[in-house]
Structure 1
Amino acid sequence: MEETILKTIGLGKSFLGFSAVTDVNLSVSRGSIHALIGPNGAGKTTCFNLLTKFLEPTQGQILFNGIDVTHERPAQIARRGVVRSFQISAVFPHLTVLENVRIALQRELNTEFFFWKSGASLNALNGRALELLHEVGLESFANELAANLAYGRKRALEIATTLAMEPELMLLDEPTQGMGHEDVERVTDLIQRVAKGRTILMVEHNMKVVSSIADRITVLQRGAILVEGNYQEVSNNPLVVEAYMGSHGGDSL
């Protein structure tokens, strides 16, 4: 039987009487790639914000490794091993690729707030930083300014900084958004590589990406779960086809 790493029970969020997310019962299996999809406005990003506590739920529970984390702060959630990337690439553009990853690793030295320490103190992190860059295919770009990276490689760098936090569960929010075909393929391959030994929950609009790497798919519509299953089950479900056809003017799954 598959072990559940993340579970929500009746999770909901209302804003001034409007229900953005309603009664979401989500179960993510350890070691899987789980995709959260749905038409625009379906509540996908709101769900992510609830899971990482950027928003407080109006109702329901969030369980991580069987522990109720519903009322914990974002920093507590991150320390437990739930680490999130965002739709917009969040790297430091005027630092090198290596320096970006070292910042994410800095907590290992417990010097985050020692502002009087020399930057040379971070050199101890170079080895691990280079290992992470190798994992995401950026080792040869270690001394390049992040601002000079192509968009797809910036997303790869962001994944490297996410990995530096040693996540048990990675939440990837639209990891291929705004990318050309080559970058989409590169990042898709990267997600598959870093998923080994980890669990990934991703919001993704590109159905080709979802079909190629997701073990399980949850479809949201109007803030509630519409259907759940593997890609074959979901793509052939009339309710899903209707939801996408109605919202995207004929886009196919």
Structure 2
Amino acid sequence: MSEQYVLETRNLVKEFKGFVAVDDVNLNIRKGDIHALIGPNGAGKTTVFNLLTKFLIPTRGKILYKGEDITSLKSAAIARKGVVRSFQISAVFPHMTALENIRVALQTFEGNSFSFWQAGARLNKLNERAMELLDAVGLTSFANTTTVELAYGRKRALELATTLAMEPEILLLDEPTQGMGSEDVDRVVELVRSAAKGRTVLMVEHNLSVVSKLCDRITVLAQGAVLTEGDYETVSADPRVREVYMGSDGSGERGATETNPASAEAAQ
């Protein structure tokens, strides 16, 4: 392993009853980068995420973290090492306040997640750090707001804050802007950029305008395999990438900015 790579996969394969969802994928994630996994629907992006965080078990291949083979570790052990992920849908407690959600995450990180019978006052020591995290994602004024009352974009911001509470070295973000309007997308782009300071980010993202603004390096998946890799300029100019997104005749599932590298570039 080159010391510059913090997370690697070697010939990673995942099969489901004969269907190859991830096919011989080799990833090299450089320390400090924001690295995107992109590709059309069904390309295997989220499956790769699930393999990296051991929500799925690889059929073959290896996963290395800082040169250590972590393929056999369970998801909780990988999270404790600092590889922490978010999900496509918001994963916060809807009937807790924003502050309470952060405190639960901090409590879990400290190893006290089974101490819910203790008086709430005992958790007050976590309030200072919780408020720092809420401030980092622009939610200070919503600390005492019940999560179900938050707008969708703010719920995703809260989810990012709960993920940061785990103090990840590598932050894996699965579709962080999914379902958002342009104003919320811009807010989340800035939040991800801020969260990336001092850590590595690997993200799945459909919105190529977001990818072009944020990412140092991009891996394109198609039919479970790596199609190409490089910076945005290199990837967006690759005719194979245009073909898997748009089809060889120039028509695809969607001609919107989020799926068309050429349109994404024009939208800047």
TM above 0.5, yes or no, is: yes
The Cα shift of 1:119 comes to 1.6
The 3 A distance-change label for structure 1 pair 109 and 224 is: closer
Give the distance between the partners of 1:107 and 1:51, measured in 2 at CA.
21
Q: Which residue of 1 aligns with 2:121?
A: 120
SS at match of 2:93: coil
SS at match of 1:165: coil
User: Which AA in structure 1 matches 2:16?
Assistant: F
| CA displacement 1:215-244 (0-9 Å, x = unmatched) | 000000000000000000000000000010
The 3 A distance-change label for structure 1 pair 2 and 216 is: farther
Q: Which residue of 2 aligns with 1:14?
A: 15
Instruction: Answer whether contact 2:32 2:196 (CA < 8 A) is retained.
Output: yes
Give the distance between the partners of 1:25 and 1:67, measured in 2 at CA.
16
Give the distance between the partners of 1:99 and 1:123, measured in 2 at CA.
10
Q: Which residue of 2 aligns with 1:181?
A: 182
1:248 aligns with 2:253: yes
The Cα shift of 1:249 comes to 4.8
Q: Which residue of 2 aligns with 1:33?
A: 34
The Cα shift of 1:108 comes to 5.2
Instruction: Answer whether contact 1:216 1:231 (CA < 8 A) is retained.
Output: yes
Unpaired runs of 5+ residues, structure 1, are none
The 3 A distance-change label for structure 1 pair 86 and 109 is: closer
Instruction: Answer whether contact 1:30 1:199 (CA < 8 A) is retained.
Output: yes
Give the distance between the partners of 1:88 and 1:212, measured in 2 at CA.
23
Q: Which residue of 2 aligns with 1:213?
A: 214
The 3 A distance-change label for structure 1 pair 136 and 178 is: same
Q: Which residue of 2 aligns with 1:68?
A: 69
SS at match of 2:57: coil
| CA displacement 1:188-220 (0-9 Å, x = unmatched) | 111001111111000000010000000000000
Give the distance between the partners of 2:140 and 2:228, measured in 1 at CA.
41
SS at match of 2:88: coil
The Cα shift of 1:113 comes to 1.5
The Cα shift of 1:250 comes to 4.0
SS at match of 2:122: helix
Which stretch of the first structure deviates more once superposed, 132-141 or 204-213? 132-141
Q: Which residue of 1 aligns with 2:132?
A: 131
Give the distance between the partners of 1:129 and 1:48, measured in 2 at CA.
27
User: Which AA in structure 2 matches 1:71?
Assistant: S
Give the distance between the partners of 2:111 and 2:154, measured in 1 at CA.
29
Q: Which residue of 1 aligns with 2:170?
A: 169
Give the distance between the partners of 1:108 and 1:222, measured in 2 at CA.
36
Give the distance between the partners of 2:140 and 2:52, measured in 1 at CA.
32
Instruction: Answer whether contact 2:109 2:166 (CA < 8 A) is retained.
Output: no
Give the distance between the partners of 1:12 and 1:95, measured in 2 at CA.
39
- State the superposition RMSD in angstroms: 1.2
Between Structure 1 and Structure 2, how many residues are aligned?
253
Give the distance between the partners of 1:229 and 1:109, measured in 2 at CA.
38
Give the distance between the partners of 1:110 and 1:5, measured in 2 at CA.
25
Per the normalisation by structure 1, the TM-score is: 0.97
Instruction: Answer whether contact 1:39 1:248 (CA < 8 A) is retained.
Output: no
The Cα shift of 1:83 comes to 0.5
Give the distance between the partners of 2:131 and 2:70, measured in 1 at CA.
33
| CA displacement 1:56-96 (0-9 Å, x = unmatched) | 00010000111100010000010000100000001111111
1:238 aligns with 2:235: no
SS at match of 1:248: coil
Give the distance between the partners of 1:110 and 1:176, measured in 2 at CA.
30
Give the distance between the partners of 1:210 and 1:116, measured in 2 at CA.
44
Give the distance between the partners of 2:143 and 2:253, measured in 1 at CA.
40
Per the normalisation by structure 2, the TM-score is: 0.92
